[in-house]
Amino acid sequence: MAHLLMVESWVGSMSRLLPRAVREGGHTFTFLTRDLHHYLRAAPEGVQHPILGARHVLTGPTNDPDRLLPFAEQAHHALGFDGVISSCDYYLPTAARIARRLGLPGPAPEAMDHACRKDATRDVLARAGVPGPRYAVCADWVETGGAAARIGFPLVVKPVDLCAGMFVRRVDDETQLADAHRALADFPVNARGQRRDPVVLLEELLHGPEVSVETVTHRGTTHVVGVTDKSVGGAPAFVETGHMFPAALTEADARAARDTAVRAIEALGLDDVVAHTEIKLTPDGPRVVEVNPRPAGNRITELVRHVTGIDLTAACVDVALGREPDLRPHDTGLRSAAIGFLVPGTGGVLEAVDGGDTVGEARDVLELSLAAPGTRVTADGSNNGYLGHVMAGDAAGLGARARTEALLADLRPRVVTR
């Protein structure tokens, strides 16, 4: 039985899935955080958050690497860790630095730095010849306006250091560009109390379907587990509204996506990671959107598990311990699985979600999760505001997406503005 140090976490599904994978692997973990209440507030009333299943909970300066590394070293001497993990993008480079300091398995901190910064990812991939959009990194409004004129509208505006689609916007003219630039400038500190880098990333707008490639890299070899599709809504934002695994692609498109993801991971120098690489299949070929050096969110790992039997969160634990992950697929009885998200159209307070009882009784439903009445609803144009999801499977073929969309249409949220 191994003992892992878990450095912070997302508060969504991965905060449950990763502790589950540790436990089911026969291991234990110590949880290290600067603010335990950040997680306790996210747990439903009367339900113990899985983070509290930790052997120990330590409060430490996770936003201050200079103080954190000696703190983690002292904890290691007292408690003894065999690996370091995190599911939260804001702390992946920190976890890698702790692993290096303690002499434990893990990816190179420099590679994690590059993968977790969208501007650094663009620069590394461009130097390596991995295809992506035309882009510019802009320090201020003057540079932003000049870069927009060079690249040409429509454009995508991105922060370089936020997640879940926050503040990612399509802009079609200079007025929209100024509004998006101002909104980013008005958000100087992220939800974890970390000061943001104010630079802005501009990219040409890519056209074509978007997919993600789920991979596991261990000891220098990247294994492709599969390709997931993605639906997006909420324009001018890019809110993920659903996914299906495996993606309904031609073999040529699937191969192109797989090969491009592997090239991107190799160019970044990532090793001993589970990765989720987003790719646009444009008329001119695949283009990398971003590389996420951790298991996919939005319960994509569960879609993969339902179809292939491969547990990507368990693989994340294995590679953090320096162990060969079990990536052997087996027949689960399903040929596809899909998830659809209930995206609010307006802010307010959730009164109820009608149709939940009927949808929950459908025979092909794998999961149904709905926000509780009284939940405050924020239509913020990101993946943080979902009111729930439905997941369904198809035993015959690639029909899971259509089935999920039909079930989602039967869910009707009632949001009251106050």
Which tokens go with 390? 């439905």
Residue 196 has pLDDT above 80, yes or no: yes
Please state the φ and ψ torsions of residue 289, each to the nearest 5 degrees: -90, -55
How much is the pLDDT for 21? 96
**pLDDT, tens digit (0-9, with 9 covering 90-100), for 306-329:** 999 999 999 999 999 999 999 999
**pLDDT, tens digit (0-9, with 9 covering 90-100), for 18-74:** 999 999 999 999 999 999 988 887 766 666 778 888 999 999 999 999 999 999 999
Which tokens go with 29? 């973990």
User: What whole-number distance in Å separates Cα of residue 132 and Cα of residue 252?
Assistant: 19
**Average pLDDT, integer, range 114-137:** 98
What is the percentage of the chain residues whose pLDDT exceeds 90? 88
**Minimum mean pLDDT range among 21-30, 220-229, 262-271, 380-389:** 380-389
Per CATH, the number for 133-204 is 3.30.1490.20
**Average pLDDT, integer, range 200-204:** 98
Sequence length of the chain is 418
Q: How far apart are the first and last CA of the chain?
A: 52
- The CATH architecture of the domain made up of 336-418 is 2-Layer Sandwich (3.30)
Where do the CATH 3.30.1490.20 domains begin and end in the chain? 133-204
How much is the pLDDT for 164? 87
CATH class given for the domain over 3-104:
alpha beta
Task: State whether CATH 3.30.470.20 applies to domain 207-332.
Answer: yes
pTM: 0.95
Where do the CATH 3.40.50.20 domains begin and end in the chain? 3-104
Of the pLDDT bands very low, low, confident and very high (cuts 50, 70, 90), residue 378 is confident
How much is the pLDDT for 305? 98
Instruction: Round the average pLDDT of the chain to a whole number and report it.
Output: 95
Where do the CATH 3.30.470.20 domains begin and end in the chain? 207-332, 336-418
| DSSP track, 11-66 | SSTHHHHHHHHHHHTT-EEEEEES-THHHHTTSPTT---GGGGSSEEEE--TT-HH
Residue 171 has pLDDT above 70, yes or no: yes
- Cα 97 to Cα 121, 200, 208, 339, 355: the distances in Å are 19, 26, 37, 35, 47
Q: How many CA atoms lie within 13 A of 394 on its CB side?
A: 18
Among 396, 325, 407, which residue's Cα sits nearest to residue 366?
407
